[in-house]
Amino acid sequence: MDRSGEFHPAFEEYCECIFELGEDDLDVIQARIAERLDVSRPAVSEMIKKMSAEGLVTHDGALRLTAAGQRLAETVVRRHRLAERFLTDVLKLSWAEAHHEAGRWEHVMSEAVELAMNELLGHPTTCPHGNPIPGSDFKQRDLIALSEAEVGAPVVIRRITEELEFQPGLLEFLEAASIRPGETVCLASAAPDGTLTVQVGNNALGVAAFTGERILVST
């Protein structure tokens, strides 16, 4: 059942954030939520208390979504990623523009619009960056970080994790460089500090260690 309309958008944002941190295998701690949402730690602490009272999270040493919180998060994430696909595939917006706009659409999209959009797009399984759409027929692959790839061997970009979407200017760089899901690239070299040189077509690009650890590829 769709319960997204029952809650203030702030609750949706927090549930979405907790879901995505877990999806990227990051520890769900208040400091990380504060950083992701650009709010103060006291504000996060207060919101977690309210969410607990609403039955959306439990906080018994570890912060977790309840079943209700998980359903709400999946609805919001699904609508966000469907909106990103629509905005990029149909309206031809850039990744960065689509990510920003989808952050608004996710809170106002009705179930009817969600279903119609999914049908129009042909039931996509991932967002433009390769992150799975909850409720789709997404099939999990065995993936490794780009930084773990064998030097000189071709790999296929599969996923750009959510964490990278919040780094200023990074989505623009990756899209312009054609470092996108489905693209075959080659790790040309890896420096001692973790900086990578990635061959994309005829172009050699420098990729920071932080980024290379969060771009997932298949061999």
Tell which of 70, 87, 116 closes a domain: 70
Tens of pLDDT, residues 146-186: 999 999 999 999 999 999 998 999 999 999 999 999 999 99
Alpha-carbon span 161 to 111, nearest angstrom: 26
In a domain, 203, yes or no: yes
Tell which of 51, 70, 89 closes a domain: 70
The CATH number assigned to the domain holding 28 equals 1.10.10.10
Tens of pLDDT, residues 176-186: 999 999 999 99
Query: Do 208 and 145 form a contact (C-beta atoms < 8 A)?
Result: no
Where in the sequence is the domain holding 211, given as residue range(s)?
A: 144-218
Alpha-carbon span 215 to 160, nearest angstrom: 5
In a domain, 52, yes or no: yes
In a domain, 113, yes or no: no
Tell which of 52, 70, 88 closes a domain: 70
- For residue 138, the 8-state DSSP code is -
> What is the predicted pLDDT for the residue at 5?
58
In a domain, 200, yes or no: yes
Q: Is 89 left (phi over 0), alpha (psi -120 to 50) or beta?
A: alpha
Q: Based on the structure, what is the number of domains in the chain?
A: 2
> What is the predicted pLDDT for the residue at 4?
56
The CATH number assigned to the domain holding 152 equals 2.30.30.90
> What is the predicted pLDDT for the residue at 75?
97
In a domain, 98, yes or no: no
Q: What is the pLDDT along the chain (219 residues), one digit of tens a residue?
A: 455 557 889 999 999 999 999 999 888 999 999 999 999 999 999 999 999 999 999 988 789 999 999 999 999 999 999 999 999 999 999 999 999 999 999 999 999 999 999 999 999 999 999 999 999 999 988 999 999 999 999 999 999 999 999 899 999 999 999 999 999 999 999 999 999 999 999 999 999 999 999 999 999
In a domain, 180, yes or no: yes
In a domain, 9, yes or no: yes
In a domain, 34, yes or no: yes
